[in-house]
């Protein structure tokens, strides 16, 4: 009999990949709010995560064996302008989930972000001090602390910006500029913003293998420190597109509401010591481009 997994954010980009990675081994209940998902092997559950009573009732009904919490308001500019609205989901709902999982003593995984760092040095380890410069990063940093205070056995997986299956969702980092290049449009990509850009399938497989086997903070990201421009050039090569349409640009040329850190690349030695084996960006892009990703 399969174990039951409760997955929040099931209709999101990471949720898409987690559904497919976990489906063979788990009976999945995917929580969504405004959106839904099309995946026959999982049961959709409509739930307002900010409603503690409603959430508790679903736990009683489903009796999950583990929870992965990916749901968040992740638009940094939205969070910067609507901090109170974002806080209710990014922090309060996360605390509630941690508390319920602690009561049931089941594995709880929370997906955090590289944006808990200020970007001044890069290749951050799990022990480096958090110093977010955006409201979104600050809320995730608060949620991390509160979750581990409530439930020390919880796992906090800090993730980077991700790419993956092109049809996954609008949150797919790669799809937007690939489509623009195919249409002959010029794409500007930062050459001075560095991330450990990771493949969503590799990261989902890492979470699959680590769920219930580790606790505390673990960085689960790509192997390489790449600028957005570096990654764009790799994607162009994989998809056989016109690299001449990609132009280097600087963070300083864009005035977003939320501040942008320069280098929040992540050291993943801890995760790799625990068995995490992410593909290189080139290999994962090749599998996507050739239709062999799933």
Q: What angle do CA 138, 51, 36 make, to 5 degrees?
A: 85
Residue 200: its pLDDT value, please?
96
Topology classification of domain 174-194+226-263+281-289:
UDP-galactose 4-epimerase; domain 1 (3.90.25)
Topology classification of domain 3-162+196-225+265-273:
Rossmann fold (3.40.50)
Look up the pTM and report it. 0.95
Q: Rounded to a whole number, what is the largest CA-CA distance in the chain?
A: 56
Quick check: 171 pLDDT over 70?
no
40-46's contacts with Cβ under 8 Å and 24+ in sequence apart are: 42/7, 42/10, 44/10, 45/6
Q: What is the mean pLDDT of the chain?
A: 94
Listed range (141-145, 240-244, 266-270) with the worst mean pLDDT: 240-244
Residue 263: its pLDDT value, please?
98
183-193: pLDDT as tens digits: 999 999 999 99
Contact 205, 22 (CB under 8 A): no
Quick check: 262 pLDDT over 90?
yes
Q: Per-domain residue ranges for the chain?
A: 3-162+196-225+265-273, 174-194+226-263+281-289
Q: Strand, coil or helix: what is 29?
A: strand
Question: Which residue in 68, 52, 58, 148 sits closest to 106, CA to CA?
Answer: 68
């Amino acid at each position: 009999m399969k174990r039951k997994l409760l997955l929040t954010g099931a209709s999101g980009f990471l949720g898409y990949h987690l559904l497919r990675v976990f489906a063979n081994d788990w009976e999945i209940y995917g929580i969504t709010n405004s959106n839904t998902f099309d995946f026959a092997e999982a049961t959709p559950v409509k739930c307002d995560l900010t409603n503690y009573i409603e959430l508790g009732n679903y736990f009683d009904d489903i009796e999950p064996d583990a929870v992965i919490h990916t749901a968040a308001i992740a638009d940094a500019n939205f969070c910067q302008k609507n901090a109170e609205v974002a806080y209710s989901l990014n922090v309060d709902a996360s605390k509630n989930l941690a508390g319920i999982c602690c009561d049931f003593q089941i594995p709880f995984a929370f997906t955090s972000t590289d944006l808990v760092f200020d970007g001044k040095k890069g290749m951050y380890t799990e022990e480096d001090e958090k110093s977010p410069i955006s409201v979104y990063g600050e809320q995730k940093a608060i949620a991390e602390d509160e979750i581990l205070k409530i439930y020390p056995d919880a796992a906090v997986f800090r993730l980077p910006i991700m790419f993956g299956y092109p049809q996954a969702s609008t949150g797919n980092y790669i799809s937007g500029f690939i489509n623009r290049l195919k249409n002959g449009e010029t794409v500007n990509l930062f050459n001075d913003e560095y991330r450990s850009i990771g493949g969503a399938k590799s990261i989902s497989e890492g979470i699959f293998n680590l769920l219930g086997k580790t606790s505390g903070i673990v960085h689960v990201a790509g192997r390489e420190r790449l600028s957005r421009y570096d990654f764009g050039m790799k994607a162009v090569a994989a998809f056989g597109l016109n690299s001449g349409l990609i132009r280097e640009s600087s963070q300083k040329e864009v005035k977003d509401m939320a501040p942008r850190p320069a280098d929040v690349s992540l050291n993943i030695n801890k995760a790799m010591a625990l068995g995490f084996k992410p593909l290189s960006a080139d290999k994962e892009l090749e599998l996507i481009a050739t239709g062999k990703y799933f």
